[in-house]
């Protein structure tokens, strides 16, 4: 096997896949990257057995073949070569020799046959949509995922396919984020999968804010997302996601509307003197007025007063300020609408001009 191409053409695919290579591995080969040189160019594959990334370079093959190389060492060598350098990689027995200008490096290798890859993910229902739509959907919902919860199915992002629509839902049991986008979905029935946290984070890193199309395929045990020159595959969490529709409150008349940024800044200030562990703030609502109050064990207090659009009867309810701030930061619009029920029920936040994203926050007892 022998390849020759410019440093930048090799560095780009390497940087795309290196994120899934763990520094501590259960299997030595998982610390390597699989390099395959074939008739259609070069592919680089990295995996941690949960997430697999395959990046492609379309030229540079002098002799076909395949090998696995120490991923981070190979990456560091290529990254530190001079810009525009011609990089040659050739096999010499069980070693790989990398040369560029006056530099020469000899790397140990492992057989390509030992490298685990995922080729077929079974029957799929493909969905094609712009990259920025998928990125926005994940970005505005993933923060509500649980972190190392014993209910393992909460440690991921639910993707729900139905005819003409893709929905994302995340919850940690205390708050919930829900978003949906329309798309060309080739399914006649609803399908749900749960993507693990690492897969979600890698997808966010890889997706760009562009109109370029991506292909999303949901298999029985895997999700696959195909981007230009890059293929992402992740195992799914095997579990049943809770019925999220049940926790979305049905709001009648207690609706508050105000400036998103004004409310956000008031919450930031009030939370300074909240209990550091629970981050609790109290909302005191009256006609056209909202007061945000907080206190802590040192008997310190904060009191913020805002003019809001609210005509229903007065009420008091407590919330975790961090959960409210996460939701407000995910909303793009100038205003925010909050739907309230009573002091023991969840509230729902959304952009009055964009109902595609909704956020539910449970109350706190203060």
239-294 pLDDT, tens digit per residue, is 999 999 999 999 888 999 999 999 999 999 999 999 999 999 999 999 999 999 99
Residue 125 has pLDDT above 80, yes or no: no
Does 282 lie in the same domain as 315? yes
12-21, 121-130, 240-249: which range is least confident on average?
121-130
pLDDT of residue 186: 66
End-of-domain residue from the set 189, 219, 245: 245
Residue 315 · residue 289 · CB < 8 Å? no
Residue 122 has pLDDT above 90, yes or no: no
End-of-domain residue from the set 114, 146, 171: 114
Does 230 lie in the same domain as 309? no
* Length of the chain measured in residues: 366
- Other beta carbons within 10 Å of 345: 16
Residue 126 has pLDDT above 90, yes or no: no
For the stretch 197-227, pLDDT in tens is 999 999 999 999 999 999 999 888 999 999 9
Whether 65 is covered by a domain: the verdict is: yes
End-of-domain residue from the set 76, 92, 114: 114
Does 326 lie in the same domain as 281? yes
Whether 141 is covered by a domain: the verdict is: yes
Does 99 lie in the same domain as 154? no
For the stretch 20-76, pLDDT in tens is 998 888 899 999 999 999 988 999 999 999 999 999 988 899 999 999 999 999 999
Residue range(s) defining the domain that contains residue 51: 2-114
Closest CA to 146 of 156, 135, 136: 156
- Cα dihedral sign, 24-36-201-48: negative
Q: Note the pTM of the prediction, 2 decimals.
A: 0.92
Number of domains, the chain? 3
- Other beta carbons within 10 Å of 138: 20
């Amino acid at each position: 096997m022998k390849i020759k191409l410019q440093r930048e053409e090799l560095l780009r695919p390497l940087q795309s896949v290196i994120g899934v290579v763990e520094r501590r591995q259960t299997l030595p080969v998982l610390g390597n990257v699989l390099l395959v040189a074939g008739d259609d160019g070069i592919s680089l594959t990295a995996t941690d057995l949960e997430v697999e990334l395959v990046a492609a370079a379309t030229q540079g093959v002098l002799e076909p073949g395949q090998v696995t190389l120490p991923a981070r060492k190979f990456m560091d060598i290529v990254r530190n070569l001079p810009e525009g350098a011609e990089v040659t990689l050739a096999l010499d027995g069980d070693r790989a020799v990398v040369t560029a200008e006056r530099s020469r490096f000899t790397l140990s290798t492992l057989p390509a046959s030992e490298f685990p890859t995922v080729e077929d993910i079974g029957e799929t229902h493909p969905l094609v949509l712009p990259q920025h739509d998928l990125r926005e959907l994940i970005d505005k919902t993933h923060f509500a995922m649980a972190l190392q919860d014993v209910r393992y199915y909460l440690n991921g992002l639910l993707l729900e396919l139905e005819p003409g629509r893709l929905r994302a839902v995340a919850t940690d049991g205390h708050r919930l984020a829900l978003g949906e986008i329309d798309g060309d979905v080739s399914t006649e029935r609803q399908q749900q999968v749960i993507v693990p946290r690492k897969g979600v984070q890698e997808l966010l890193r890889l997706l760009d804010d562009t109109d370029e199309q991506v292909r999303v395929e949901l298999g029985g045990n895997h999700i696959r997302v195909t981007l230009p020159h890059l293929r992402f595959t992740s195992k799914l969490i095997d579990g049943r996601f809770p019925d999220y529709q049940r926790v979305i409150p049905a709001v009648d008349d207690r609706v508050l509307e105000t400036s998103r940024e004004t409310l956000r800044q008031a919450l930031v200030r009030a939370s300074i003197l909240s209990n550091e562990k629970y981050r609790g703030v109290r909302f005191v609502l009256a006609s056209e007025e909202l007061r945000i109050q907080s206190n802590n064990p040192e008997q310190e207090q904060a009191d913020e007063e805002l003019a809001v659009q609210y005509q229903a009867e007065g009420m008091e309810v407590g919330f975790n300020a961090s959960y409210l701030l996460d939701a407000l930061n995910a909303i793009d619009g100038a205003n925010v609408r909050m739907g309230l029920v009573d002091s023991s029920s969840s509230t729902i936040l959304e952009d009055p001009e964009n109902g595609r994203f909704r956020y539910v926050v449970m109350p706190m007892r203060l």
